[in-house]
Chains A and B, each alone.
Chain A
Amino acid sequence: MGEYAVEVHDLHKDFGEVYAVKGVSFNVQRGEIFSLLGPNGAGKSTTISMLACLQRPSQGDALVMGHSVTAVPQQAKAALGIVPQEIALYDDLSARENLDFWGKMYGLRGAALQKQVDDVLELIGLTDRQKGRIGKFSGGMKRRVNIGAALLHKPDIIIMDEPTVGIDPQSRRHILDGVKALNQQGMTVLYTTHYMEEAQELSDHIAIMDQGEIIALGTHGELVRIVGEQDRIDLRINAPSELVMAHWQEVPGVSQVTADDGLISLLADDSNVVLPRLFEVATAVNVRITSVEIQEPNLETVFLHLTGRALRD
């Protein structure tokens, strides 16, 4: 068995005309948290469903704890806990009945199963509500059970596909802390998200995905250094953005001017130097700047730098 928990070699997946994943390769080290960060439609879920042996790669292969997902899927599956992006539970069964069932599907039985169910209920903070039907749970509670169901068999690797989508901040905090706790117990985590804060907070390594490809991979520090020391400046003006964009592009030290729904974003080598020039240019064409925000380099900036598009929704 190699040193990696997951090895992905040149995975491809096409759905007829649609190329969802176009040659993705990365390695997840044992015991780390690895994030796939990318916007909607980047191909994160498709990549994960190939690792989970749900979809056959059109090309390429992946090893999970050394087991090929194409050659020996049953072994690969047993090493994995999968938290699907959409909640996949039985609404008409209670939280405990759900966990009980999913535990059995991983081959647990009897006292060992009951202990695991108790432990997982404790971990997801739903011991008190274990008899409640899932259908009556809040979105956050469902998400927690959705995660719990993947933990019962104490997998070597847990794969979580956007586990915090559409939930309240409190549940989200609970989940992020839970992920870190699991990781500290030695579980390898493969995490997907389109929130750069989550990737930044959790991950040892991050792969940024866009349009079916990994466009950058490294630690948070390594990725941020791609854009150098550039700041991102977000501005709003009282006129159509086209009036100033071309002019601002000409300003020395400015790169990547983009506009999205009235918000103009640009990358600047040094905002202290660039900002006064932006105001001058605006005044020259009779446009007022109504708001300015300066952001230190982060993953958002990296994505903008690499794709010319914003990462957020």
Chain B
Amino acid sequence: MKLFDIAFKDMRQSLRSLSGIMFMFVVPVLVTVLFYFMFGGASADDEDSFALPRTDVLLVNLDAGTLPENADLSSEFSAGQSAALGSVTSMGELLAQILQQDAFADLLAVREVDDATAARTAVDNQEASVAIIIPSNFTDALLITQETAVIELYQDPTLTIGPAIVESLIKQFADSFVSTKIGTGVVIEQLVKSGAAINGALVEEIVRKFTAVAMESAQTTGALINVQPPPGANSEAGLIGEILGQILGGMMTFFAFFTGSAILQSILIEEEQGTLARLFTTPTQIRTIIGGKVTATFLMLFVQVTTLLLFGRLVFKINWGTALPIILAVGGIIVMSVATGLLLVSLMKNTRQAGVVYGGVLTLTGMIGMITIFTGGGANTSPMVRTVSLFVPQGWAVRGLQTAMNGGTAADILPTLAGLLVWVVIFAAIGQYRLQRRFA
């Protein structure tokens, strides 16, 4: 098939072009690594070449409650765990101890202070990244039904990674106790219904047991820092992978659009070098030529994206999500890049114009599209920012990828994909029409 002959010829040319290779593979990886170091990841351990930056945490423990039964909970723990925890008198203290464990020493630098206002001011002055304020009713809320307590996380809005880690740790802690609380409530209720005598000691005993179990799970899962749902993520690499994944995913999308445009720009290059006219002197249809170039672009983008995904997986241990969602998301990136490239090339007069316009337009729209990545990605991004990013095709492309990385299912991605396809159809139709007419 002539279409594939043209496609393979174009691919061969792209793979021989140094600048092509740079933009496709080297630059996205370099930028990812650069961003990573900008976030402070330079202090690499020997053990783990990608360590996270340490986050300065101010801890204000206002918890006034006490654990039942003098709470020497260590008996419920294994020897190692109780040694790590020591004896605690309140849940606030327990949380404080968990956060100050050696296991988190690389991630968090926790300092306990007494005054909540002072702690907030310190964060405002960027002396600390985040302040954790444990309310006075924290123990009571966890152990007594009907009462609620809110841990306040006061964070520096310009930072994303440090506060995210802290938030995730506290969530895990709180989650395990919330389920305990529900469990406790249910047990008590059932005892009442069965007519058993309820005395304070029995309730306390039940609560104590549940608390011990929950603490154990809080302790172990806390150490895992399993921040986001993707299965298989483990240890520190999971979180690092998520952050690097956001950046590499963003870079991959950003540069996929350059690849798409660069390969389709060969239409203009061939026009200027006379090979397009020569192609037209052979019995080859215009749509075969355009089709060949579109195919080349698809295949090269496939190579680029797969390489980057694999690279991210193997080197940065990035978890891209499960198979089907990521395939859909990546497919979206590819078709959107091709359609944008086709539209752009059809609007250009010559390569000189294309050089200027591509650089400007794709950089600008790419940055707008990537805005969700640089404002923290995932769930933290404000709706306004999300909306802005959807004014450009890159925003749609990266949205699917983010959904997949945040553990979304194929069904979660479909709406994004549908929106994206509207762009694709419009862009491709205009591009194809204009090129056909131009060379007819």
Tell me if B287 counts as interface (CB < 8 A to partner A).
no
In contact, A105 and B277 (Cβ under 8 angstroms):
no
Task: Using known A-B contacts A84-B274, A90-B275, determine if residue A77 contacts B283 with beta carbons closer than 8 Å.
Answer: yes
Q: List residues of A (77-123) whose CB comes within 8 Å of B's CBs.
A: 77-78, 80, 82, 84, 86-93, 97, 101-102, 104-107
A106 touches B13 (CB 8 A): no
Point out the residues of chain A lying under 8 angstroms from B277, CB to CB.
Answer: 49, 54, 84, 88
Query: Are A104 and B12 in contact (CB-based, < 8 A)?
Result: no
The answer for the CA separation of A52 and B274 in the assembled complex, in Å, is 14
List residues of chain B with CB within 8 A of the CB of A86: 274
Q: How far is the CB of A49 from chain B (nearest CB, A)?
A: 8
Complex CA distance for A74 and B285, rounded to whole angstroms: 9
The SS class assigned to the A binding surface is loop
Interface pair A105/B2, CB less than 8 Å apart: yes
Count the B residues whose beta carbon is within 8 Å of the partner chain — how many?
Answer: 18
A53 CB within 8 Å of chain B = yes
Per-residue CB contact flags for chain B residues 258-302 toward chain A (1 = under 8 Å, else 0) read 000000000000000111011111111000000000000000000
| Separation of A77 and B281 alpha carbons in the complex (Å) | 6
**Cβ of B313 under 8 Å from chain A:** no
Asked whether, in the complex, the Cβ of A84 is within 8 Å of the Cβ of B278, the reply is yes
Q: In the complex, which residues of chain A have a beta carbon less than 8 angstroms from the beta carbon of B175?
A: none
Which of B2, B12, B274, B282 is in CB contact (< 8 Å) with A97? B12
Chain B residues closer than 8 Å to A91, beta-carbon distance: 273
- A78–B283 Cα gap in the complex (Å)? 6
Interface size on A, residues (CB 8 A): 27
Pairwise interchain contact A88-B275, C-beta atoms closer than 8 A = yes
Residues of A within 8 A of B273 (CB): 88, 91
Q: Does B147 contact A (CB under 8 A)?
A: no
Judging by beta carbons under 8 Å apart, are A82 and B283 in contact? no
Question: Which chain A residues lie closer than 8 Å to B280 at the CB level?
Answer: 53-54
B274 engages A106 (CB within 8 Å)? no
B437 in the interface (beta carbon within 8 A): no
Task: Write out, one digit per residue, whether chain A residues 190-203 have a CB within 8 A of any chain B CB (1) or not (0).
Answer: 00000000000000
From A75, A77, A92, B17 is in contact (CB under 8 Å) with: A92
**Of B5, B13, B275, B278, which contacts A104 at CB under 8 A?**
B5
Annotate B38-77 by CB proximity to A: 1 below 8 A, 0 otherwise. 0000000000000000000000000000000000000000
B111 CB within 8 Å of chain A: no
The answer to whether A101 touches B282, judged by C-beta atoms less than 8 angstroms apart, is: no
- 16 CB contacts below 8 A, A to B, read A49-B277, A52-B281, A54-B280, A74-B283, A82-B281, A88-B277, A90-B9, A90-B275, A92-B17, A93-B12, A97-B9, A101-B5, A101-B9, A105-B5, A106-B283, A107-B283
Name 7 extra pairs, CB < 8 A, besides A49-B277, A88-B274: A54-B280, A77-B281, A89-B275, A92-B17, A101-B9, A102-B282, A105-B2
The 4 closest A-B pairs by CB, nearest first: A88-B274, A105-B282, A88-B278, A82-B281
